[in-house]
Amino acid sequence: VGGKIVATSPYPLGLRLADRRVLVVGGGVVAQRRLPALLESGALVTLVAPAVTAGIESLVGSGAVSYQARRYQSSDVDGAWFVLAATDDPMVNAAVASDAERQRIFCVRADEAIEASAWTPAVGRHEHVTVAVHAGRDPIRAAAIRSSIVERLADGSLDAPHVRPTGGGLPGVALVGAGPGDPELITVRGRRLLARAEVVVVDRLAPHLLLDELRGDVEVIDAAKIPYGRYVAQEAINEALVSRALAGKFVVRLKGGDPFVFGRGGEEIEACVAAGVPVQIVPGVTSPIAAPGAAGIPITHRGVAHEFTVVSGHVAPDNPKSLVDWDALGRLRGTLVLMMAIERLPAIAAALIAAGRPGSTAAAAVQEGTMGSQKVVMATLATIADEVVAAGVKPPAVVVIGDVVSVAERLLPALR
Ligand SMILES: C[S@@+](CC[C@H](N)C(=O)[O-])C[C@H]1O[C@@H](n2cnc3c(N)ncnc32)[C@H](O)[C@@H]1O
């Protein structure tokens, strides 16, 4: 067609660009958006542009992209396997496309796609699956179809046969942090593994709404109800994980928040490792950060708190078994987050004040943070224990002590 491209159906193809030179012309946001996938494919990217965005600058600084800080010249396309014309000047893009055409190098144009020899599909990824959609000349429709397919692959509603998640051998155990309570706060990976589980061992604090989405044949074991018999509770949970995994099942251990924040995740891993069961860990959104955050309390704030400390209050300060240095905590100026501390709050607050933290320090309790039932009580260190009782605050709750609680009052009007 004499150098002029006509708009017929594209021929879909997966370019294997590893160690092949790719030329990107332009240093703006379009180039920045395209670079990660090019780099992921292993392409040797040369970028030509008089100036680049800060994002591209950091890729150049890391050595991932070879950068020529100047205007485009025709010889730039020499030796490239693929060219991306992504400047904001249609004349330059047209020149790049026609130079590439002359050398029979496929070229994508960020502006006049229809004029280009290659079109970029709407792309999504799920594990090793790449979803690439062309929808005629309607990129918005293509993106919507792409998103819908990827979402359905991720939540398991689009059932695609797949290899076992831990690869060959035993399917194993995935220790998944389910987040602080709102079912939407599990990670994408956590949700994907949950959709594949054959057995789910679930904690009391993990969002139980997530279990509604499981297939009917999935065995759901409530960790709190596993009979101990000859074991203590944690050993009985470990045993349930290991025995199911050794029986060839893929087990998801669904835990509230993050598996390693007062979650005994380490003990469960040790048990799996000792039994030769493969384990993978999926971190979770953790309540000492998420619950205050959901209540509008930032646990750090510029000029207010340069540190935050998360402490378990499940052992009273005067208990010889306590591993916490309450005197040291009382001398800190930053944010202190107490977990499992509602029962012992009077003794803890008194210990902190005795160690030097002013009783006037702002304090808040957040019960069931991130959930519809979230309840927040604002007070001071001197009054928080009484206010918590008066408001009937019950576990699960975190208590936040520090000037960031006062910041919340400024931020709250902006939150919905
Ligand atoms: C055994 S710890 C488990 C923490 C969990 N692994 C995490 O990362 O959030 C349980 C404590 O976490 C806190 N907690 C968990 N979920 C919470 C929520 N939604 N709101 C407030 N506190 C929460 C409470 O202090 C509760 O007593």
Q: What is the pLDDT of residues 306-363, one digit of tens each?
A: 999 999 999 999 999 999 999 999 999 999 999 999 999 999 999 999 999 999 999 9
Compute the distance from residue 182 Cα to the ligand 1 centre, in Å. 12
| Spatial CA neighbour of 117 closest among 12, 274, 3 | 3
Q: What is the pLDDT of residues 136-177, one digit of tens each?
A: 888 899 999 999 999 888 777 787 665 554 444 568 999 999
Residue nearest to atom 2 of ligand 1 (CA): 262
Compute the distance from residue 370 Cα to the ligand 1 centre, in Å. 11
pLDDT (average), residues 377-381: 97
Give yes or no for residue 180 CB within 6 A of ligand 1: yes
Q: What is the pLDDT of residue 1?
A: 41
Give yes or no for residue 400 CB within 6 A of ligand 1: no
Give yes or no for residue 181 CB within 6 A of ligand 1: yes
Q: What is the pLDDT of residue 290?
A: 98
Give strand pairing partners of 130. Answer: 125
Q: What is the pLDDT of residue 255?
A: 95
More confident residue, 29 or 128: 29
**Phi and psi at residue 365, to the nearest 5°:** -115, 135
User: Is there a contact between 224 and 204 (Cβ–Cβ < 8 Å)?
Assistant: yes
Instruction: For residue 84, give the 3-state DSSP assignment.
Output: strand
The residues annotated with a catalytic role in the active site are: 203, 225
Least confident range from 42-51, 93-102, 126-135, 228-237: namely: 228-237
pTM above 0.95, yes or no: no
Compute the distance from residue 352 Cα to the ligand 1 centre, in Å. 21
Work out the mean pLDDT of the chain and round it to a whole number. 91
Give yes or no for residue 292 CB within 6 A of ligand 1: no
Q: What order do you get walking across the sheet with 44-48 strand by strand?
A: 65-68, 44-48, 21-25, 82-85, 106-109
Going by pLDDT thresholds of 50, 70 and 90, the confidence category of residue 3 is: low
Helices vs strands, H then E, count in the chain: 12, 17
Read off the tokens for 35: 């670079």
Give yes or no for residue 183 CB within 6 A of ligand 1: no
Give yes or no for residue 101 CB within 6 A of ligand 1: no
More confident residue, 181 or 233: 181
User: Is there a contact between 146 and 123 (Cβ–Cβ < 8 Å)?
Assistant: yes
Residue of 254, 262, 401 with the most ligand 1 atoms within 8 Å of its CB, for mutation: 262
